[in-house]
Chain A
Amino acid sequence: MEAVIKIRNLYKSFGTNEVLKNINLTLNKGENIVILGRSGIGKSVLAKCIVGLLQFDKGSIEIFNQDISSLSSDELDGIRKKMGYLFQGGALYDSKTVRENLEFPLQRSRFAEADNIDTNTRVEEVLENVGLLDAQHKMPAELSGGMKKRVGLARTLILQPEIIFYDEPTTGLDPVTSKEISQLMVRVQNKYKTSSLIITHDLKCAKTTANNIKLLRNGNFYAEGTYNELENSEDEVVKQYFN
């Protein structure tokens, strides 16, 4: 199997707060890895280190077989255009409408020059997928928290990234929408052969989407395995998460 992300011996701390201690992770093409862990344990920090939003202290991260700390900012931007990131809070551009939020990255994406993409069709298709076609002319301030999240998801998906980072994609959504979003994530995975790193607290979402689950605890992966393996684990710590 072809690895798209390889993390070796990663360390990251903020002052005296050692958040990540010796993290090792390999994400293969077409694979969904779910990262579980308590609030404040460093899940978002890990994802941000991978995409280069945070500088890590030690270790190495390879994406598409390129060591990201050796890349120039232009080369890094090239890699970033093949990745998508759904932020925990949505991170919508609040001076732009929902529609413009989707069009803006698309106009600057790797598709922009390549072929004559039909922006309208694409925008409408992804909005339809997250059930927000009606909201396309609204400003982010007029949306609810869950709607923002879904627009954020649409904005990530519209670029058809090869690797997607989902930071709590279903948090704050009702159960029905959560389920739809989880299923959408699986459909995207199957259709485009995307690889994803999914950070979540939502076990149903983990069950639907995960090929592999990793439990982050005290700066390290405490346990890993498929959903069934972890669900049936005898380990006390793991049990706490699964009931």
Chain B
Amino acid sequence: MQIRTNALVSSVKNFLIEVGGIIDFTVLVFKQFFKKPREHKEMIKQAYYAGNKTFPLIAITGFIMGLVLTLQSRPVLVEFGAESLLPGMISVSIIREIGPVITALLCAGKIGSGYGAEIGSMRVTEQIDAMEVSGINPVSYIVASRIMATTIMVPILVLLADAIAIYGSYVAVNMYSDVNFQLFYNQAYNTLSFKDLIPATFKTIIFGFMIGLIGSYKGYYSKRGTEAVGAAANSAVVTSSLAIFVIDLVVVQVTELF
């Protein structure tokens, strides 16, 4: 019993240290946003990489997501004679929840782990030290630019994923009945309100920020050695996936208040 309590205490302690570390790091990064030189060029490069690297994956996943969701939901709605609600129902669930969360998880896996590994190996091979000794601020050049990049790109990728998923849903509906796209689109669009869009978009901005932040944090404070680089990448994915669910939960609860 004693041993178990100790293990619990130490894991709670580790968790709190981790959270404290991430908060410290966030403050450090925020300071860079107000300092010169601003690394616009690097940010654009990173945003391009992030988008380019994940778009194919997100497009395919989005399409399948819309398709499968529709195929699964259709029989139930048909049973109740509510088939005409299908486009609206699917698009609401995609835009509110499934699109943002799935896309963010994919980005955490692809971009976040990439940052963990890349920055981790920069740490291990002393590239970060080299920047520091030549008076170049590594937090600004490496970290802030990447966090800005994901904060901008993840919401854009989510919008694209949503659109493709809704198209996937349209394809699924057309397997059974001949609906033209205009009609499908109108049905979907009429069900949506600002209340669906605003929190969803807001949420994706935070997801993007967290993916960049946690990936960079894990890499930046990576331990020395090759093994540590793998560990940084791995824990970047795990931690940011967890963060995505927690943020999702919080945003949903907060939205309910209004």
- Give A contacts to B, CB under 8 Å: 48, 51-53, 77-78, 80-81, 83-85, 87-89, 91-94, 104-105, 108-109, 159
| From B129, B135, B137, residue with most partner A Cβ within 10 Å | B135
Q: What residues on A are CB-neighbors of B127 within 8 Å?
A: 91-94
Contact at A77–B137, with CB atoms within 8 Å?
Answer: yes
Q: What residues on B are CB-neighbors of A109 within 8 Å?
A: 134-135
- The answer to whether B136 has its CB under 8 Å from any CB of chain A is yes
Complex: chain A residue closest to B133, CB-CB:
A85
Contact at B134–A87, with CB atoms within 8 Å?
Answer: no
| From B127, B129, B132, B134, residue with most partner A Cβ within 10 Å | B134
Closest Cβ–Cβ distance, residue A43 to chain B (whole Å): 15
Complex: chain B residue closest to A93, CB-CB:
B127
Contact at B134–A80, with CB atoms within 8 Å?
Answer: yes
Report Cα–Cα, A109/B135, bound state, in Å: 8
Contact at A53–B129, with CB atoms within 8 Å?
Answer: yes
- Give B contacts to A, CB under 8 Å: 37, 121-122, 125-127, 129-130, 132-137
Of A52, A81, A83, A91, the contact of B125 (CB 8 Å cutoff): A91
Closest Cβ–Cβ distance, residue B5 to chain A (whole Å): 27
| From B121, B136, B137, residue with most partner A Cβ within 10 Å | B136
Q: What residues on B are CB-neighbors of A83 within 8 Å?
A: 133
Q: Which 8 residue pairs across A and B have the least CB separation, nearest first?
A: A91-B130, A91-B126, A77-B135, A81-B135, A80-B135, A85-B133, A105-B134, A87-B126
Contact at B135–A85, with CB atoms within 8 Å?
Answer: no
Q: What residues on B are CB-neighbors of A89 within 8 Å?
A: 125-126
Q: What residues on B are CB-neighbors of A84 within 8 Å?
A: 134
Complex: chain A residue closest to B35, CB-CB:
A74
